[in-house]
């Protein structure tokens, strides 16, 4: 990486928060990730930005064959066109070029930048899909699943970028990708459409990497994300912490590369696609990073190639699309306001803020005796317990049916209320995570639900106002500091979240031997992680070393079995 490129990226956030982030900031060389799950959102974003830039817009109807993939392709192509146009304009604009120079790591002058314009590149327009969102649609004879149609939309675009696959294995999707030429290297080892796996531990990375390699699909980057100290859906490990996970990646990176290359080469030879040159394999990390010192520690100690900064950019209007009301909710949120909830219809834990506008909308529906949401997007209609074709657990139809079943059980009031609350806690995320874009630009939401769902990570609590793009990028590189309140170290914050999760698992555990083994494994991993941090404390936390060690000891006491505590005393 040359000195004129950034060493961070902005991960995908929600559906609408980063849907237009590349259009806004890629001209400054900053890479960001767009969700391509919601085709209605990207189609309306294409219409908005076409109008804003006086470009022709031809709508893609739901009656068109494969309309989802076509909408996605059209929006990505428009985004690419606008980024290229703005980037070329920037190179001839002294004010914009100066801003570009000020935001780069190190101290780059305008004169130096002008002398090296050929080394400047716009940020990438990367895309993300959750592989779990793979409903089989039934309308319009479009036989592609939702995940496959999104991948096809990306593959058919003119982007040279990456697709970030998150939320685990999807063999059906991997097989579909095997038929798309842009995912394979050319003779020089260049891949037009790269694959990034978002992972939470080494073992799952190895499994997915091998599965893709057998199909000749090269994983260009393993993007490690904290299982709990992240925004949106959370996928807790079995007590494995970020530090030990990064250490394992560092030690095994060469083996991972060699194993992946060996398997891929066998597939490439079989397909007659063997490249003349080798490929690169990057390791990056994201989730809860909040200071320049933490970024430097991750880059230097674990040799990661880049870091991801998500939640802080929710408070940067130049980078993300968030309406004023939601922006205030985010900037006002403290540690106690951000919590791990059960609002997602996916049945996966979801980080959000208490009493946000979507939550208020949900509660109002319950008070009116009409819990649930009208389901018109159906992207999360994945539950088969009520209808074989699938239904969303946040929908009116699903919740009405489940409440009727609950009433027939003649439960005591306390038991009934707990079960009722669990049914009605689900939110419509298809609308909730899209509505902010519509509100921001005064567009009709076209939905019964106008609430905005929010999905920040716990790290947002330490950023308490809106920031300019330059302020936030300067903070990342240590040119200034925008965090004024006391904040725990990245590793300590994640450890605390895992200890809380462990205590919750204990409280809800049954008496089965299987559960006992799972808890024992979780406990052992936590204690091993704490021991690892104790051994390297001076290397990762030179500033407030005693505070770091005290926190480790506090959490060890909360995790440690009673007999070990007694022995220690």
CA angle 406, 412, 416 (to 5 degrees): 35
Residue (of 112, 275, 83) closest to 184 by Cα position: 275
Taken in order 377, 175, 271, 253, the sign of the CA dihedral is positive
Which whole-number Å values give the CA distances from 263 to 164, 211, 222, 463, in the listed order?
A: 21, 9, 17, 45
Buried b (16+ CB within 10 A) or exposed e, 369-386: eebbbebebbbbbbbeeb
Contact between 128 and 36 under an 8 Å Cβ cutoff? The reply is: yes
Residue (of 434, 314, 437) closest to 49 by Cα position: 437
Contact between 343 and 426 under an 8 Å Cβ cutoff? The reply is: yes
Distance between CA 195 and CA 436 in Å, rounded? 29
Contact between 173 and 134 under an 8 Å Cβ cutoff? The reply is: yes
Residues 6+ apart with CB under 8 A from 396: 370, 371, 372, 373, 374, 375
Which tokens go with 382? 């994945």
Contact between 157 and 169 under an 8 Å Cβ cutoff? The reply is: no
Which tokens go with 425? 């806690």
DSSP notation for 425-467: T---HHHHTTHHHHHHTT----SS---------GGGGG--S--
Contact between 4 and 100 under an 8 Å Cβ cutoff? The reply is: no
Distance between CA 519 and CA 253 in Å, rounded? 29
Distance between CA 445 and CA 385 in Å, rounded? 30
Contact between 487 and 290 under an 8 Å Cβ cutoff? The reply is: yes
Residues belonging to the chain: 569
Distance between CA 276 and CA 484 in Å, rounded? 52
pTM to 2 decimal places: 0.95
Which tokens go with 464? 């308490």
Contact between 184 and 195 under an 8 Å Cβ cutoff? The reply is: no
Q: Tell me the pLDDT of the chain (569 aa) as tens digits.
A: 567 899 999 999 999 999 999 999 999 999 999 999 999 999 999 999 999 999 999 999 999 989 999 999 999 999 999 999 999 999 999 999 999 999 999 999 999 999 999 999 999 999 999 998 888 775 544 578 999 999 999 999 999 999 999 988 899 999 999 999 999 999 889 999 999 999 999 999 999 999 999 999 999 999 999 999 999 999 999 999 999 999 999 999 999 999 999 999 999 999 999 987 889 999 999 999 999 999 999 999 999 999 999 999 999 999 999 999 999 999 999 999 999 999 999 999 999 999 999 999 999 999 999 999 999 888 999 998 888 788 999 999 999 999 999 999 999 999 999 999 999 999 999 999 999 999 999 997 665 678 999 999 999 999 999 999 999 999 999 999 999 899 999 999 999 999 999 999 999 999 999 999 999 999 999 999 999 999 999 998 877 899 999 999 999 999 986 644 434 33
Report the chain's terminal Cα–Cα distance, integer Å: 52
Distance between CA 131 and CA 134 in Å, rounded? 6
Rg (CA), the chain: 24
- Antiparallel, parallel or unpaired: β 193-199 and 125-130: unpaired
Q: Is 389 helix (H, G, I), strand (E, B) or coil?
A: coil
Which tokens go with 239? 């007590």
Which tokens go with 291? 């200071």
């Amino acid at each position: 990486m040359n000195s004129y490129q950034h060493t961070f990226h902005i991960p995908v956030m929600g559906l609408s928060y980063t849907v237009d982030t590349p259009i806004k900031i890629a001209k400054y060389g900053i890479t960001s990730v767009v969700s391509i799950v919601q085709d209605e959102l990207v189609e309306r974003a294409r219409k908005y930005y076409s109008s804003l830039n006086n470009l022709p817009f031809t709508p893609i109807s739901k009656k068109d064959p494969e309309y989802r993939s076509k909408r996605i392709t059209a929006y990505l192509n428009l985004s690419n066109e606008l980024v290229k146009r703005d980037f070329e304009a920037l190179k001839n604009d002294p004010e914009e070029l100066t801003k570009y120079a000020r935001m780069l790591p190190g101290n780059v002058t305008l004169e130096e930048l002008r002398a090296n314009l050929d080394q400047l590149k716009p940020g990438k327009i990367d895309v993300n899909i959750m592989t779990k969102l793979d409903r089989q649609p039934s309308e319009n004879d479009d036989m592609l699943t939702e995940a496959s149609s999104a991948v096809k939309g990306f593959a058919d675009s003119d982007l040279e970028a990456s697709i970030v696959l998150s939320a685990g294995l999807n063999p059906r999707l991997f097989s579909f990708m095997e038929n798309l030429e842009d995912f394979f290297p050319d003779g020089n080892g260049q891949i037009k459409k790269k694959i990034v796996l978002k992972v939470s531990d080494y073992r799952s990375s190895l499994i997915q990497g091998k599965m893709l390699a057998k199909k000749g699909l090269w994983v260009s980057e393993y993007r490690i994300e904290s299982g709990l100290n992240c925004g949106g859906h959370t996928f807790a490990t079995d007590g494995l912490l970020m530090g030990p996970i990064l250490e394992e990646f560092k030690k095994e990176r060469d083996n991972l590369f060699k194993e992946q290359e060996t398997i891929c080469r066998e597939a490439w030879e079989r397909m007659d696609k063997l490249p003349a040159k080798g490929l690169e394999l990057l390791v990056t990390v994201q989730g809860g990073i909040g200071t320049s010192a933490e970024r430097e520690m991750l880059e230097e100690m674990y040799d990661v190639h880049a870091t991801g900064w998500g939640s802080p950019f929710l408070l940067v209007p130049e980078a993300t699309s968030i309406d004023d009301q939601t922006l205030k909710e985010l900037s006002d949120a403290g540690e106690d306001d951000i919590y791990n909830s059960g609002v997602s219809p996916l049945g996966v834990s979801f980080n959000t803020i208490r009493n946000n506008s979507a939550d208020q909308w949900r509660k109002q529906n319950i008070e009116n005796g009409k819990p649930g949401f009208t389901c018109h997007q159906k992207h999360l209609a994945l539950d088969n317990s009520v209808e074989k074709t699938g239904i969303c657990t946040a929908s009116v139809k699903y919740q009405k049916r489940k409440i009727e079943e609950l009433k027939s059980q003649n439960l005591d009031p306390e038991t009934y209320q707990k079960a009722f609350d669990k049914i009605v806690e689900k939110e419509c995320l298809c609308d909730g995570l899209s509505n902010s874009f519509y509100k921001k630009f005064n567009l009709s939401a076209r939905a019964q639900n106008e609430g905005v769902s929010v999905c920040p990570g716990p790290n947002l609590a330490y950023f308490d106002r809106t920031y300019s793009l330059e302020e936030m990028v300067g903070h990342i590189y240590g040119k200034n500091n925008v965090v004024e309140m006391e904040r725990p170290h990245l590793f300590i914050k994640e450890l605390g979240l895992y200890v809380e999760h462990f205590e919750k698992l204990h409280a809800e555990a049954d008496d089965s031997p299987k559960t006992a083994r799972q808890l024992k494994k979780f406990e052992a991993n936590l204690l091993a992680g704490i021991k690892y941090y104790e051994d390297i404390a001076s290397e990762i936390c030179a500033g407030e070393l005693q505070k770091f060690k005290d926190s480790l000891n506090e959490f060890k006491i909360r995790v440690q079995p009673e007999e070990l505590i007694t022995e220690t005393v």
